[in-house]
Structure 1
């Protein structure tokens, strides 16, 4: 994600407020990138209906797409008024994520921006099945946005995993940090970095002791084990960050399950954008991504590797 030259915006015909487009305009104004407004439409009544023949159904579908193109054009005119190059496209497909992936494969994009759902009652995002599909398979950076007050990223956080035990691609952390620093530069944000690791619990430790398993620590003391694990993760975390200039107060090494600790970090530091990585195994730092993101209340920038 070194350069953003063309932004694919997945529009939402069911919403009067296009948060993904607002964020795309913010980025385009800072990067001179072009924007493509992309809408996926489908209506089962235009596929099979007892009262129409196939020719009539095809004509109805064509007119339906034309009406959506006219709808997109109203947004395109506003974008053009900002001296941003903009294109529009409407495709007929029953699966939004599959249509977006096909669009990227044919036309390419520097980044995809899509809005997410949010429940105002409990102030949480809810990802649709299509969002999960895109998170797992989108080959370019994917920005999932929600409704925020000013659409500005004051604080961004990169979640990295320098430990190699989870079959994660070695270069993914580097790509995550590069993406975070680019977004922080564009929005003049404070950039944080976190690494959550989960040490063995004391009950499991005691169980290993009981059967005489080697802990690789001479004393066999749980406190010593905890300190050794912390030191190990600090070494690999510091090694990863040695190529960057993050101040100590914005780096966070936290013992505990990422499922619980990462949402707390996001909340306590008032993070507006979380930059995370997705490997080919559909997992993030050793946990299913759903367990983490269901409880994170901020925008998400997902970096997949290879990309």
Structure 2
């Protein structure tokens, strides 16, 4: 092994010069989504690959027990839905910004996707509760992109056109989640289709968030639908879509906001004091829009002083 090979091995196999677009994209992702920071390197103590997590009976059962710890009456199907929603958030937050903002897809195979879980306080609707989050580490330096002009050195880079890149992203998501869908279906009886809908919801939600943060919301929405609406894909369902609502206010004019209509359900309505979420697939469009408009009014009055 020559000097350059030794230096590269000492960095966990990542050549920082060659992988500059990859590292730069991860730096932006980590700054904007600090609860799920991404990085590269080796598998170290305290980290687990997604492949090992999905294959471990103990790890899956511990995750399900964690989800069930918040409500005494949560059934196994609801625990599975909560686990998929939480893991889907972690995965999508780590990878969608890289794709939506930089046209970049790392190796997302479960054996190359490592996590270090932690628990953090999370405020939602005025209440603070625990949330399971994770640091994510890509163990391979390989990535694919449709921005060939941005990469001057290979660093195991595959240059694809935009259509092929969207197709690769969809297949990478499917391949990553297929073992977990199988595990949760077998253990809890929650339908595979219900689990896949939760995966698609998580990905679509993060595309919308990334589009807002990067100032390219329409492009992000269009790309999300290209990825998620391929006939025959388990991610495809007709209920998942984006929609806009507008409020009229004399002081600020028309105020619009884009929402994601979910194709899946987290089953929160099944627990004590639970309810159907506004954008849940089980909600009616009329009730959904009324609830969301009320939330918009509350937010605008609080932040902008909207007139009554």
Normalised TM-score (structure 1): 0.27
Greater per-residue helix proportion: 2
Greater per-residue strand proportion: 1
Where relative contact order (Cα < 8 A, 6+ residues apart) is larger, the structure is 1
Normalised TM-score (structure 2): 0.27
